[in-house]
Structure 1
Amino acid sequence: MYVRIFAAVWLIVCAFLAVVAWGFQAPFSYDPVGPRAYPLLLLCLMATAALWLIYKPGDGPDLPISWPLARKVVLCVLALVAYAVLFEPLGFVVSTTLVGFSMGLLFMGRPLPSLVSGVLMGVLLYGLFDYLLDVPLPLGVLGILEN
């Protein structure tokens, strides 16, 4: 029951986001397929998975949603919203480090390994995107280290 409700809501959200993504336009052409192909592809895959869950939700028993699980989901969504808000002002490395650290703690990780993995994730992903893939990312507060 809960799986089908979740899948139906997920399908509605995918449809709404597909309408939003359809309007993506780039002011200059840097990619032959444009900026809307990747989000539309992901939304199509998510909508297909939602339709599958509506059609065949699984054999297991329906488990009620527990308060600790709901709390984790809400905190996870809040962390991702904070990531989106802080991405430009703090920069990619710092905001990714913070969200990696907070997710590690949220899923019962110890503080030091969560911090180390957050820092490594921020720095290594920045190197991957900026240097190997030529995708410019904001440095934010670390912009003073650029030159």
Structure 2
Amino acid sequence: MVLRIFSAILALAALGLLVLAWGYTAPIAYDPIGPRPYPILILSLFALCCIYLVFRPAKLADKDDLGLSPELGKKIAICMATMMAYAVLFEMIGFPVSTALMAIVVGRLFGGSYTKCIIAGVVMGVASYVLFDRFLDVPLPMGL
């Protein structure tokens, strides 16, 4: 029952975002079809999958064991807070540092050791910055 309720909420959110994406127009036309079809396609598929989860037969839904526990809820809350902090700190402290910090926290949530998470976070922050900035010509904030 929890899965059906959650899927219904996600379907409504996806449909709302789909309405917003439908009216999107880019100020610069860099592609013949523009940037609008991609979010429309993704949100449509997401909404359809959520609607299926809401209305699927009960015999299929009974087999789902989501493994919900207080520990998992705590990890999900920490992950969501980390993503929110990443979005807020992205421009203030810069892409490489904020990406490294986010990767370290998420790595720890998945059971990684401190040493491995710190190394992977720093490598991910620096490597992705170099990839986007130097090779793909996507300017990213460096922070203060």
Fold-level similarity (TM above 0.5): yes
- Cα contact 1:2–1:62 (8 A) shared by 2: no
Q: Which residue of 1 aligns with 2:90?
A: 87
CA contact (8 A) 1:101 1:117 kept: yes
1:26, CA displacement in angstroms? 2.9
Task: Please state how far the C-alpha of 1:23 moved relative to its aligned partner.
Answer: 4.1
Q: Indicate how the Cα distance of structure 1 residues 139 and 113 shifts in structure 2: closer, same or farther if over 3 A, else same.
A: same
Q: CA deviation at 1:133?
A: 2.2
**Which residue in 2 is equivalent to 1:123?**
126
> Would you say 1:139 and 2:116 are equivalent positions?
no
Query: Could you list the runs of 5+ residues in structure 1 that have no partner in the other structure?
Result: 142-147
What amino acid does structure 2 have at the position aligned with 1:47?
A: A
CA distance in 2, matches of 1:32, 1:108: 45
Q: Match for residue 77 of structure 2?
A: 74
Write out per-residue CA displacement over residues 33-57 of structure 1, whole angstroms, 9 at most, x where no aligned residue: 3343333232222212212322336
What CA deviation, in whole Å up to 9, does each residue of 1:105-147 have, x standing for no partner? 1222111111111111112222222223222222223xxxxxx
Query: 1:54–1:78: structure 2 CA closer, same or farther, 3 Å change rule?
Result: same
* Aligned residue-pair number: 141
In the aligned structure 2, how far is the partner of 1:77 from the partner of 1:63?
18
TM-score by length of 1: 0.81
Deviations 1:80-128 (A, max 9, x none): 1111111111121111111101101122211111111111111222222
Output one character per residue of 1:9-34: Cα deviation in whole Å (capped at 9) or x when no partner.
11011112223333433332333333
1:30-69 equivalences under 5 Å are 30-56=30-56, 58=61, 60-62=63-65, 65-69=68-72
Aligned to 1:145: none
CA 1:42–1:61 in structure 2 vs 1: closer, same or farther (change >3 Å)? closer
